[in-house]
Chains A and B, each alone.
Chain A
Amino acid sequence: MKQLKKYWHLFWFFRKTSLMKMTAYRTDFFFWFFVSLMWTSFNFFFFSLLIRLSNNIAGWFTWELYTLLSIFTMVDAFTWSLMYNNMNPYTSDIFQGRLSNLLTKPIDTQFVIMTRETSYNNVPRFFVGLFALFWSLHKLNYTPNLASIILFVLTFSAGVLLVYTIWFAIATLAFWVERLDNINNIVPGMRRIWQVPRQVYGGFTSTFLTVILPLGLVSSIPSEVLLNKPTGIWTSYLIVISFIFFILARKFFHFSIKKYTSVGG
């Protein structure tokens, strides 16, 4: 319990220091805040152009697709505000031999790596997504019950954890490769996988993207839960597989650390 309290305190302490850094460069913050909003709007606009071509895509109607797109935008907020800003220093520390600074700290290294930075420029993405989510549910004339909301929060968190874990595992490959500067562009490059409903995938692609590397479930399952669509075992699968991936990534990290060397260590 004491440990948990320590990590909880540290988590918010990191958020606070990131906020202080952000306020030091306010103009920069407002500029990137605007750029982030621009990309979010552009993303919505691009998909709205595709959605309007047909009113039923893979069994999803227009406003249901907007629900999915809203949830994708909320996941995207975590991608750019938390994951990207932590994975970049992580790989850079490995390549430049600075990871020893973290390894010698009396706290869990993976925790520090995954939580030390936040970019507040991208936080508005989350609220844009949330607003769009309420709007699409309003358009569908649908009010989810408490059980759906709880299950939504659970599956949404599992989805974010899955993306972050896969990113962490890929970034950990930096221990094994000589130099790969774009290693942190791989997961953002895969974002379109969870931007579309899982029913879009068929055959082997479906098996690969929903079972083996289940990124196709990240936005789909929370949307289906919220819209009360039948999901079968997929809800439980997403939650369980996220934790399994997390444990595997942690084991891979501890295994890879043995390969790490730096000056004096």
Chain B
Amino acid sequence: MPDMLKKYSTIFRFMTMRALYYRTELFVWSLIETLPFAILILFLVSVFAQKPEINGYDLPKLIQYYLLALIITSLTDFHFEDVRAREIREGKIDFYLARPFSYIEEILLRTFNSKIIFLVFLLPVVSIIYFLSSLHYGVAPIHFFSLNFLIFCGLILAAATISIFLSLWIVMATFWLEGSNGLTHFRMIGITLFSGAMIPIKLMPNWLQQIVNWLPLKYLYAIPIEVIQGTYQISPHDMLILAGTITAMLFITKIFWKNALIQYCSVN
């Protein structure tokens, strides 16, 4: 066990050093992520200039919704498909197949590592926006020492797991399909459309509400945000759906990976 910890901490430290090499890029990314959100706030101010409340949402509550959506995106959205698909397509993963450190482990460690470094740059920017929004628009503060926040953290962990499985499926599809990284766009649109990242469920048209309520993708954005806002109580039924979804995804990933390796060939 200590050997394993030592191995992973060494790899993690090495990856951190590599990720910090691109710190200016990470800073630019954090600005790119937050600018559209700042414009959206201004747009929402104009929307609510005519009506103080729309379907149970007033301006501060809706701004908080989108702020939390921005935080969730920064925590659960992964973009390794392009690079990894290229590695597989060009037959460059043999290196990992002959090591006591699997390719999937490498992807996961590097992803978590760059995510942590990215958050170091992004979270201060988001915190400033949150602070300014609470000052100007009366956005309610987040209570970090509450049960709801604890549930929120658990849901975010589950959301990150679902998101990473979806990205891994796209990477693994490269073993069969050449341009599989293009599927990333379908993943992005699917998640944005059916998870509540785009707009709260209550503000969606009825037909979309029905689809969203039927799919488990709502646990990625809409449910965690509603839990924090105190408008949704998580039930055992929800926990069961989430656990079932993650278990099924893990099972599919294992089968997918096993078959993918059989499919893989490179020079030598």
Least Cβ–Cβ distance between A173 and chain B, in angstroms: 11
B51 within 8 A of A: yes
CB of B28 within 8 A of CB of A180, answer yes
B182 within 8 A of A: yes
In the complex formed, the residue of A with least CB distance to B62 is: A53
Given contacts A182-B29, A189-B32, A190-B35, contact A54 B193 (CB under 8 A): no
Given contacts A58-B46, A177-B24, A180-B28, contact A192 B185 (CB under 8 A): no
B25 within 8 A of A: yes
A112 within 8 A of B: no
Chain B contacts for A46, CB-based, 8 A:
192, 198-199
CB of B47 within 8 A of CB of A180, answer no
CB of B35 within 8 A of CB of A49, answer no
Contact with B along A184-195 (1 / 0, CB 8 A): 011001111101
How long is the Cα–Cα vector from A5 to B28 in the complex, in angstroms? 41
The main secondary structure of chain B at its interface with chain A is: helix
Given contacts A46-B198, A50-B47, A192-B40, contact A31 B179 (CB under 8 A): yes
A-B contact pairs, 20 of them (CB 8 A): A27-B179, A31-B182, A39-B185, A45-B193, A50-B43, A53-B51, A177-B24, A179-B25, A180-B24, A182-B25, A182-B32, A185-B29, A185-B32, A186-B28, A186-B32, A192-B36, A192-B39, A192-B40, A196-B42, A197-B46
A108 within 8 A of B: no
Q: Which B residues have a C-beta under 8 Å from some C-beta of A?
A: 22, 24-25, 28-29, 31-33, 35-36, 39-40, 42-51, 54, 179, 182, 185-186, 189, 192-193, 198-199, 203-205
CB of B39 within 8 A of CB of A193, answer yes
Among A35, A54, A192, A201, the residue within 8 A (CB) of B35 is A192
A256 within 8 A of B: no
CB of B47 within 8 A of CB of A54, answer yes
Interface size of A by CB at 8 A reads 39
CB of B189 within 8 A of CB of A38, answer yes
Least Cβ–Cβ distance between B118 and chain A, in angstroms: 12
A231 within 8 A of B: no
In the complex formed, the residue of B with least CB distance to A183 is: B28
How long is the Cα–Cα vector from A158 to B225 in the complex, in angstroms? 42
How long is the Cα–Cα vector from A56 to B192 in the complex, in angstroms? 26
CB of B179 within 8 A of CB of A28, answer yes
CB of A53 within 8 A of CB of B54, answer yes
Chain B contacts for A183, CB-based, 8 A:
28
Residues 194-221 of A contacting B (Cβ, < 8 Å): 195-197, 199-202, 205
Given contacts A50-B199, A182-B25, contact A35 B193 (CB under 8 A): no
Least Cβ–Cβ distance between B66 and chain A, in angstroms: 11
Least Cβ–Cβ distance between B68 and chain A, in angstroms: 18
A32 within 8 A of B: yes
CB of A42 within 8 A of CB of B35, answer no
CB of A205 within 8 A of CB of B42, answer yes
CB of B50 within 8 A of CB of A49, answer no
Counting from the closest, the 3 A-B pairs by CB-CB distance are A189-B32, A58-B46, A192-B36
Most buried by B among A28, A189, A202: A189
Using A38-B186, A189-B36, A197-B46 as known contacts, list a sample of 6 further A-B pairs with CB atoms less than 8 Å apart, ordered by residue number in A: A42-B193, A49-B199, A58-B49, A181-B25, A191-B36, A200-B42
Least Cβ–Cβ distance between B35 and chain A, in angstroms: 6
